[in-house]
């Protein structure tokens, strides 16, 4: 049973526009959520996180929104740049308990 | 870059042979993890360690074993490699269990022929 779902395998966005990547989770015990970015032939790199006590966290061009009642989070990238083209993984965990559980990833292509 | 080194970076092996992948960290983090990445599956946890000689299974542990005799080294062994174990393997480390980001190595691409 997949606990973290990224239902869009791919997304194309024009440079300068907003990219919105979505993630759903099923385990209501999860209380810490992260986004990772992965370029080919490299390991995933941590991008941004959010605790369940918040509904928004912002870091420069990246904002993560959390809707606990819907068990849904999203990553907004504004403005999108060609260098943002990568695979983005959503991950979730319960603090102090489980290792990270990852979604299958969404490939973002930012077109110049 | 977190100090994580995976070796080898690439390996081709034959079905039925044993294979050991190594992860070495210089951060002195307590927790270490092995994930595999496959198309259509994302990142799946194989095994993890919460201290020297303390390990636990992840969701795809069958066919794999691990060992951690020193804080800095976490070994993943395929006792008898199969074609289904062709994958990219990532090691990761963290300071705490849950609640902090994992930092990943650059991966080992393993091909089992």
Rg (Cα) of chain A, in Å, rounded?
Answer: 13
Q: Tell me if chain A has a CB within 8 Å of the CB of B106.
A: yes
pLDDT average, residue stretch B79-92:
97
Higher pLDDT, A1 or B109: B109
Instruction: Report chain A's mean pLDDT, rounded to a whole number.
Output: 95
Q: Are B103 and A46 in contact (CB under 8 A)?
A: yes
Interchain pair A43, B101: CB under 8 A: no
pLDDT average, residue stretch B85-112:
91
Q: Are A112 and A103 in contact (CB under 8 A)?
A: no
Residue A66 is inside which H or E element, if any? Answer: strand A62-67
pLDDT at B40: 86
| Burial of residue A65, with CB atoms counted within 10 A of its CB: 0-12 exposed, 13-18 middle, 19 or more buried | middle
- Residue-wise pLDDT for B8-64, tens only, equals 999 999 999 999 999 999 999 999 999 999 988 999 999 999 999 999 999 999 999
Cα–Cα distance, A60 to A16 (Å, whole number) = 14
Q: Is the pLDDT at B1 greater than 70, yes or no?
A: no
Cα–Cα distance, A97 to B60 (Å, whole number) = 18
Q: Is B10 helix (H, G, I), strand (E, B) or coil?
A: strand
Edge-first strand order for the sheet with B4-7 is B4-7, B19-25, B73-78, B64-70
pLDDT average, residue stretch A38-59:
95
User: Which two tokens mark A70?
Assistant: 């819907």
- Residue-wise pLDDT for A74-88, tens only, equals 999 999 999 999 999
pLDDT at B74: 98
User: Which two tokens mark B47?
Assistant: 């095994």
Q: Using an 8 Å CB-CB cutoff, list chain B residues near A102.
A: 35, 42-44
Higher pLDDT, B1 or A16: A16
């Amino acid at each position: 049973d997949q606990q973290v779902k990224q239902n869009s395998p791919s997304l194309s966005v024009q440079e300068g526009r907003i990219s919105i990547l979505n993630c759903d989770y099923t385990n209501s015990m999860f209380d810490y959520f992260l986004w990772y970015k992965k370029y080919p032939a490299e390991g995933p790199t941590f991008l941004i996180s959010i605790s369940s006590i918040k509904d928004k966290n912002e870091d420069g061009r990246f904002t993560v929104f959390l809707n606990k009642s819907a068990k849904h989070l999203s990553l907004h990238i504004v403005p999108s740049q060609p260098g943002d083209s990568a695979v983005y993984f959503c991950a979730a965990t319960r603090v102090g308990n489980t290792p990270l559980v990852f979604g299958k990833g969404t490939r973002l292509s930012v077109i110049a | 870059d977190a100090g994580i080194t995976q070796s080898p970076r690439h390996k081709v092996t034959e079905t039925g042979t044993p294979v050991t992948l190594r992860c070495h960290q210089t951060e002195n983090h307590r927790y270490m993890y092995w994930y595999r990445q496959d198309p259509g599956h994302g990142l799946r946890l194989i095994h993890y360690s919460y201290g020297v000689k303390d390990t636990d299974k992840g969701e795809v542990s069958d066919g794999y074993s691990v060992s951690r005799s020193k804080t800095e080294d976490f070994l993943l062994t395929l006792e008898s490699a199969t074609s289904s174990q062709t994958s990219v393997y990532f090691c990761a480390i963290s300071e705490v269990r849950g609640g902090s980001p994992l930092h990943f190595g650059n991966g080992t691409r393993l091909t089992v022929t």
